[in-house]
Amino acid sequence: MDTVHPVGTLSGPLPMRVEGDRAYGPGIYDMKGGNSIAFSALVHLHATGQRPKLPVTVMMIPDEEIGSPFSRPYIEVEAKKHAIVLVVEPSGDFGRVTIARHGIARYNVKTTGVPAHAGAYHSKGRSAIREMARQILAIEAMTDYDRNVTLNVGIIHGGTHENMVPLSCEAIVYCLVPLPEHEAEVRAKLLALTAVDPDVKLEVSPGLYRPSFVKSPAIQRLYDHTAKLAHEIGYPVKGERVAGGGSDGNFTGALGVPTLDGLGVLGDGPHTHQEYLLVSCLVPRTKLLMRLFETLDASFGSR
Ligand SMILES: [Zn+2]
């Protein structure tokens, strides 16, 4: 239910509006649209006197974009009680279904310098921001597109006054690590970083880690069944996809519970001010979830 958009986005750069087949709004594609169709599918199923074949629990997660630090234990407990997990994160590439996800790791980096009056005593200061700037270049240089390993410094805070050599600076690194061995490699490199300026202290500490989930035979069966249903509805899926970003599907997939992800809405521009969903996908994608609820039985949950 959370989005990366700060409060004020709706009244500012990304107002809710419909233009042709596109409905724009913060989080509409990633992933409020998915939450909405999952809930609607169950409501419609009940309204027509039908019931899902297996008991369905709908989880609405409020802290997913920051790595689900509070929800993770609840997600894992529920996942173990259920045969299958369906994730209504947005569909990728206008219709693909997510059958695997890379791992995501976060790291906190902190530099502590020596403060000084930036006018009178500049030479006595050791800038935490200057040190961080050097570290950022070193960290982002660890990116290896050939292996899909990427490191992004997405947040940085430092300094208190412009007339002061800054005492401290903090940054958060978001790493795409397709496999556990990539995570181990990135971890070793980040923890081995040393300060360029010997008078500045550098600390690197691991944050949240979402392990990768990979396609199993059970996920293949789930995908094939979903593709068949989508074809019958007349709104076919456009193939399988290994997604770069993490989701709560990483937790359930890594537990070994057959997980199919990316069953939400079609659209584009997640995490940007151009975020939209395709209005024309809402009915067929809701039908697809209804049909999954109607047809998935315990045989799809065998691991
Ligand atoms: Zn997101």
- For 90-133, write each residue's pLDDT tens digit: 999 999 999 999 999 999 999 999 999 999 999 999 999 999 99
Q: What is the mean pLDDT of the chain?
A: 96
Where are the domains positioned within the chain?
17-102+212-301, 103-210
- Residue in 215, 298, 272, 299 with CA at minimum distance from that of residue 26: 272
- For 184-219, write each residue's pLDDT tens digit: 999 999 999 999 999 999 999 999 898 888 899 999
| Gap between the Cα atoms of 88 and 100, Å rounded | 14
CA of 271 to the centre of ligand 1 (A): 6
Spatial CB neighbours of 143, under 8 Å, sequence gap ≥ 6: 149, 150, 151
- For 48-57, write each residue's pLDDT tens digit: 999 999 999 9
Residues with CB under 5 A from ligand 1 (ion): 30
Q: Which fold has domain 17-102+212-301?
A: Aminopeptidase (3.40.630)
Is the CATH number of domain 103-210 3.40.50.970? no
Instruction: Tell me which DSSP letter residue 213 carries.
Output: B
CA of 292 to the centre of ligand 1 (A): 24
Q: Please give the model's pTM, rounded to 2 decimal places.
A: 0.83
CA of 245 to the centre of ligand 1 (A): 8
Averaged pLDDT, 44-65: 95
| Gap between the Cα atoms of 233 and 300, Å rounded | 21
